[in-house]
Chain A
């Protein structure tokens, strides 16, 4: 009885939930092709002029460039730190290992506004002037937990005897890292780089507080939303960004699965 009820209601619930999640996003591409500055139904006609206008918005393109620079810097940095941390967590047993792991995940759950304000105070008192660099540092902080968790799962799949085998076969520590460890966890690294870039690219609060004169894209968009004339252009941009993010995340997922497949070779074998 309960089950019959559940089987009737659950699909409806799931549909509503999906609609709630994705309908707002669907409005973006819809109105980005609308031939009017007013965002309301009925739509007046189809146009691609907002997309064409994107190319002439130099400030917007600058902001896009800033975001890419910040994204690249922070994801490379965070992935490097995250990989080293993850290796230490999975390989060595040390005191407070569990609690240090929890500590590294903290930025994920702390209110971002608080963290942003704290960073602002810290940077200013250190005498650092606000710039893309301060934004990037903050983004390293928020990206590291993602990187650690992706790389921890990559290294957990990694059989330590692979490294020993490389050394047994005459390689040095670095050679083993270069010829075995890195290639085997490479899909995890790529996945971490992609996710980190996406996180930084989308991040608003930190960037809002810590940006100097050069805004990142989300900050720039926020500043433009107040001008109705620019809104359709922002929608066009938003549509492109969603597509790009989607592509990045799909790629990250592809590499994550690949890393699982690679390490599946070691499965089903009792460990000494």
Chain B
């Protein structure tokens, strides 16, 4: 795409993305980003339908040029939030500003946003080219026929539909319809592109392919993408940052890596991949590190986090399955280990999940090991040692 297609004042696609921030940066950043950097700023946004509150006090800033995903279980209010930004729903309370301009009085057809609908909403009576040109023929646009044709051709090429302009809307495959919906929204060069579960109607293979393409397209056009999804893997592979919602509230906003490694609540930890919950008691804590006695394992040292209470306090610790080391003997490379019995296992190809019975725990814990590891293969009933290092633990409130 030529550079003139990039909206003025938009950060170029090469701007450093938050996902590439050094992993050492421990500060979580759920709060608003500083000053003018926020392209979309939501403050205290609440939406009630009658007595039911679908979205509750959401504060969220989107940065220019980032790919942001809103993630959460069905019915948590993701679409409602998106529709408030688009202008299809009015916030009951709170404000939404885009590029510093409050949106309260701005009608949906005047907002610098465009939307890719979950059903794609391809106009069935128009062919591909006319679908894509639709917005260029809306009131307030003054483009000549040749300009429109040129823009449409360029857009067709951008989304990989070159030569299909004359196809009828009902002669398209699922992936092609998705591209038409994208092209139709992007051709208006919005400041923010809103995508409501854009890939959920596609089969798995096509979905994975389109994830990569969405990401490529977003980098190419440099437009801020706000995507709603309930698939955590999709959100993590695609986005610079993710927001996780539960019951209308935004629980955490962070990069995918941080979301996975430093979830702030049990709910987030469980929603983003598998996790084991171990219980522990803090035996000592200073500004740098804390000693925690993990039930059934022993005492480990971990970096101090806000969620760690003072010495003597009880704590829930999260441990990702792949952070376990399994060995027939007590493993040397881990701080602590406990004897366990293999209850069952699940073979996933690249990894194997073991369900381990630990002394003192009611539910089995899950340990994931890479298939090619020498010590990876155990059978149900085998006795083994499961160990981990202190820094693998996440303190959860």
Contact B201 A269 (CB under 8 A): yes
Residue in A closest to B122 when the chains form the complex, CB atoms: A265
Separation of A162 and B125 alpha carbons in the complex (Å): 11
Contact A167 B118 (CB under 8 A): no
With contacts A169-B134, A169-B188, A272-B196 taken as known, whether A262 is within 8 angstroms of B119 at the C-beta atoms is no
Is B313's CB within 8 Å of the partner chain A? no
Contact B119 A269 (CB under 8 A): yes
Contact A167 B109 (CB under 8 A): yes
Is A228's CB within 8 Å of the partner chain B? no
Contact A164 B121 (CB under 8 A): yes
Which residues on A sit within 8 Å (CB–CB) of B196? 272
Contact B138 A171 (CB under 8 A): yes
Is B258's CB within 8 Å of the partner chain A? no
Separation of A183 and B124 alpha carbons in the complex (Å): 9
Residue in A closest to B197 when the chains form the complex, CB atoms: A272
Q: Majority SS of interface residues in chain A?
A: helix
Residue in B closest to A171 when the chains form the complex, CB atoms: B138
Q: How many A-B residue pairs have CB under 8 A?
A: 90
Q: Majority SS of interface residues in chain B?
A: loop
For the complex, count residues of B whose C-beta is within 8 A of A. Answer: 33
Which of B135, B138, B185 neighbours the largest number of chain A CB atoms within 10 Å of its CB? B138
Is A65's CB within 8 Å of the partner chain B? no
Contact A170 B169 (CB under 8 A): no
Is A66's CB within 8 Å of the partner chain B? no
What are the interface flags for B201-212 relative to A under an 8 Å C-beta threshold, 1 for contact and 0 otherwise?
100000000000
Is A129's CB within 8 Å of the partner chain B? no
Is B5's CB within 8 Å of the partner chain A? no
Separation of A162 and B134 alpha carbons in the complex (Å): 12
Which residue in A168, A172, A272 is a CB contact (below 8 Å) of B79? A272
Which residue in B119, B120, B125 is a CB contact (below 8 Å) of A183? B125
Residue in A closest to B196 when the chains form the complex, CB atoms: A272
From 170 to 188 in chain B, residues with beta carbon under 8 angstroms from any chain A beta carbon are 170, 184-185, 188
Which residues on A sit within 8 Å (CB–CB) of B125? 183-184, 186, 262
Separation of A168 and B79 alpha carbons in the complex (Å): 15
Which residue in B113, B119, B170, B201 is a CB contact (below 8 Å) of A161? B119
Separation of A169 and B122 alpha carbons in the complex (Å): 12
With contacts A169-B135, A170-B135, A170-B139 taken as known, whether A270 is within 8 angstroms of B200 at the C-beta atoms is yes
Which residues on B sit within 8 Å (CB–CB) of A263? 124
Which residue in B120, B170, B184, B197 is a CB contact (below 8 Å) of A169? B184
B88 → chain A, closest Cβ, in Å? 6
Contact A266 B139 (CB under 8 A): no
Contact B121 A162 (CB under 8 A): yes
From 22 to 61 in chain B, residues with beta carbon under 8 angstroms from any chain A beta carbon are none
From 151 to 198 in chain A, residues with beta carbon under 8 angstroms from any chain B beta carbon are 159, 161-162, 164-172, 175, 179-180, 183-184, 186
Which residues on A sit within 8 Å (CB–CB) of B197? 272
Residue in B closest to A176 when the chains form the complex, CB atoms: B109
Which residue in B108, B124, B140 is a CB contact (below 8 Å) of A266? B124
Which residue in B88, B120, B170, B185 is a CB contact (below 8 Å) of A164? B88
Task: Spell out A's residues near B (CB within 8 Å).
Answer: 159, 161-162, 164-172, 175, 179-180, 183-184, 186, 261-266, 269-272
Can you list 9 contacts pairing A with B, beta carbon distance less than 8 Å?
A162-B121, A164-B108, A168-B114, A168-B115, A168-B185, A184-B123, A262-B170, A269-B120, A270-B200
11 extra interface residue pairs, beta carbon distance < 8 Å, beyond A170-B110, A272-B118: A162-B124, A167-B109, A169-B109, A170-B109, A171-B139, A172-B109, A184-B124, A264-B170, A266-B124, A269-B120, A270-B118
Nearest 8 CB-CB pairs, A to B?
A170-B138, A169-B135, A165-B121, A265-B124, A265-B170, A161-B121, A272-B118, A183-B125
Task: Spell out B's residues near A (CB within 8 Å).
Answer: 79, 86, 88, 108-110, 113-115, 117-125, 134-135, 138-141, 169-170, 184-185, 188, 196-197, 200-201
